[in-house]
Amino acid sequence: MPTSKSESNRALILNLFSGGKLQISNLSNAKDTRILQKLAANQSEIFDAGDAGTSFRFMTAYLGVRGKEAVLTGSERMKERPIALLVDALRKLGAKIEYIGNEGYPPLKFSGFKDSGLSEIEIDATVSSQYISALMMAGPSLPNGIKIYLLGDVVASWPYLELTWNQMQKVGISGDFSQKLIAIPNQEFKATAISIESDWSAVAYWYAMLALSPEKTNFSLANLFKGSFQGDSAIQPIFEKWGIKSSFSENYLVIEKKENSKINGCLELDFLNIPDQGQTFIALCAATGIEAYFTGLQSLAIKETNRLLAMKTELKKIGVEIEINEKEGTCFIAGNQKLMEPSQAFETYKDHRMAMALSIFAIVFKDGIVIENPDVVEKSYPDFWKELEKVGFEIVQ
């Protein structure tokens, strides 16, 4: 399995803030992580994050707090992804940041840091956890530390904040952590060795393939552990609805299709804490004829593409209609829709998760499927197609 880019990217930024005190092993080879490694080693004044959203947001906090003279830019899609919440917070703390193009969007120009004397920040916690994680990791290096007041009843992707806090504790950082207030004083990092776990976000595609496979099929997936702090580890009980059991043996996760289970009625799931799994479950329900109503998908509109709209467009190619509400973050899939053999290729919209979620239909259609721009999987799972070949898929490029 690929190692977690979420863990890897946090470790890399914490290492930057620590001044290089961390020894990181088992680092992800995902494109996003490779981009962040290059940004961390960059000696010029121009930092290009490409389409790596996490890298852009984390580097925004680092460059802002460190007071470097720099320009941080990205791909055309990145220039359409909002960054104002994070920039506003950093400005209050003393970062000198300007917008080069459209107000509220990349690229950004950094021209120093002057302590404002403030440490308290209020931020909308219903939008993206990455803004909050970026501020958390900057906290120990701020002259007055940081107190982040989380506004809103629900924290988007809360497990990702727990993951950030867990890694910060591993490198010696202490403070207060709750769903209303995160307080981190100014303090030193300790020299620490960090080993990165495999990526639970990637595991979901193997669960989905198992759900479509015959009974008594199983996979053993390496370097995955019970009690993981990765939010997407929450998929384990959800897949039990498809008859898949999960167990752990040494450093392996073993997933086994025990039986073909039938889901009765409408399957209702909230993806607020696991938004990256939305596309996978939309595809799986379409493939298995299950009626479903999903909530908590608000953040999908500002990902690599508008993911809800993209799934609606692509599933039409196989005769499946879904109802979406982008503002509310909901998706309804009627049950038992008749699938049509695809006459068109699936588009991926420069989105790795589109390619991997739609790949499961290769099990459904006897003549296979065609996926445009398959190399997008480089972003998080570079060896995805090679791994499919290992278990019997025939892939022609």
Which H or E run includes 160?
A: helix 158-170
Helices within 337-377 (DSSP H only): 352-358
Q: How many CB atoms lie within 10 A of CB 363?
A: 16
What φ, ψ does residue 254 adopt, rounded to 5°?
-110, 120
Distance between CA atoms of residues 248 and 119, nearest Å: 43
Place of tokens 């007041």: 149
276 noted as active-site residue: yes
Residues counted in the chain: 397
Distance between CA atoms of residues 11 and 333, nearest Å: 38
Who contacts 216 (Cβ-Cβ below 8 Å, separation ≥6)? Answer: 256, 257, 258
- For residues 37 and 10, is the Cβ–Cβ distance under 8 A? no
DSSP 173-218: ---EE-SSEEEE-S-----EEEEPPB-HHHHHHHHHHHHTSPTT-E
3 state SS of 224: coil
Please, how many CA atoms are within 13 Å of residue 15, restricted to the half-sphere of its CB? 20
Classify burial at 226, counting beta carbons within 10 Å of its beta carbon; exposed 0-12, middle 13-18, buried 19 or more: exposed
Distance between CA atoms of residues 236 and 242, nearest Å: 11
Q: Supply 351's token pair.
A: 């989105």
Catalytic residue among 276, 351, 367, 375: 276
**Active-site residue set:** 276
